[in-house]
Amino acid sequence: MSDKPHLNSEYKNIIVKEVDNGNALKTGLIQLNRPDALNALNIELMKEVVDTLELFDKDPEVGCMVITGNEKAFAAGADIKEMADASTIEMLLRDQFARWDRIRKIKKPIIAAVSGFALGGGCELAMSCDMIVASDSAQFGQPEIKLGVIPGAGGTQRLTKAIGKAKAMEMILTGKFYSASDMFNAGLVTKVVPKEVFLDEALELSAEICKMPTIAVQLGKESVLKSFDLTIESGLELERKNFYLLFASEDKFEGMKAFVEKRKANWKGK
């Protein structure tokens, strides 16, 4: 029995594991587990996901996280049945998407391993991650328009920033589904792989990141994400300050010394 609360909890909608990848740091794995509803993201599931991401973020044994679904569905969107009868005031009071904002505060990288449907909130959850590894059977879409609404968990903003106005407008206004290779070509997806190995490939990418010095990884992630909010001037300032900040880390001295001495670096994570 682990003493880590996220590994002991009896989650109803997700399966949580730490995957040993042969490095000092492990991968924190979250599998969405409502297969009968194509992993529709109900409020309880999202609470479990966000709470677990925060626990992994604080866990010194974890270097990177992977969120996945199953072969048929990453997630087919927010739970429509939970919203079908809701009024504006109920939705305002529920404020269910506020929880999603906490994903933006996670410091360690998160990879979405996507197979099958990534629709609506499912596509938005994948876009809230830092990279998407997609199986060749993955289908991405923002079909909210067909329900009489629009994306509500970041889709209009993140999709437009990731793939540009022309394609984002088409996706959001038609609700059509797009293949993994379309979305790779559009710049949404990091890598497309055969469906048999999509999770292994995502775990392999995570293992590569787990080999890297953690503070540099986190400041690299922060600097890239800030490029969405900042002007080029302010973004370059932030990058430079983060670059100089890393000269205070023990890993910077070790990394450069190891290069000069032609040996592998021994990271301390500080």
Query: Which residue in the list 78, 112, 126, 207 is annotated as catalytic?
Result: 78
* Identity of the residue, 64 or 123, whose beta carbon is nearer to ligand CAA in the bound complex: 123
Q: How many residues does the chain have?
A: 270
Query: Which residue in the list 48, 122, 134, 144 is annotated as catalytic?
Result: 144
Q: According to CB under 6 A, which residues from 51 to 110 bind ligand CAA?
A: 76-81
| Residue 121 appears among annotated catalytic residues | yes
> Quick check: helix, strand or coil at residue 67?
strand
Q: Are 238 and 225 in contact (CB under 8 A)?
A: no
CB of 205 to ligand CAA, least distance (A): 26
Selection from 97, 14, 16 nearest residue 59 by Cα = 16
Q: According to CB under 6 A, which residues from 123 to 142 bind ligand CAA?
A: 124
Per-residue b/e over 42-71, b at no fewer than 16 CB within 10 Å?
Answer: beebbebbbbbbebbbebeebbbbbbbbbb
* Binding-site size, ligand CAA (CB under 6 A): 21
Residue 25 in the binding site for ligand CAA (CB under 6 A): no
Joined tokens for residue 130 = 């830092």
Residue 37 in the binding site for ligand CAA (CB under 6 A): yes
Q: According to CB under 6 A, which residues from 149 to 188 bind ligand CAA?
A: 151-153, 155
CB of 165 to ligand CAA, least distance (A): 19
Query: Which residue in the list 48, 124, 201, 239 is annotated as catalytic?
Result: 124
Write down the H helix ranges in 10-151: 43-58, 80-83, 88-94, 98-101, 121-128
| Residue 124 appears among annotated catalytic residues | yes
Output the DSSP codes for 130-196.
SEEEEETT-EEE-GGGGGTS---SSHHHHHHHHH-HHHHHHHHHH--EEEHHHHHHHTS-SEEE-GG
CB of 21 to ligand CAA, least distance (A): 32
Q: Which of 28, 63, 121, 213 binds ligand CAA (CB under 6 A)?
A: 121
| Residue 18 appears among annotated catalytic residues | no
* Residue ranges binding ligand CAA (CB under 6 A): 37-38, 40, 76-81, 117, 119-121, 124, 143-144, 147, 151-153, 155
Catalytically annotated residues = 78, 121, 124, 144
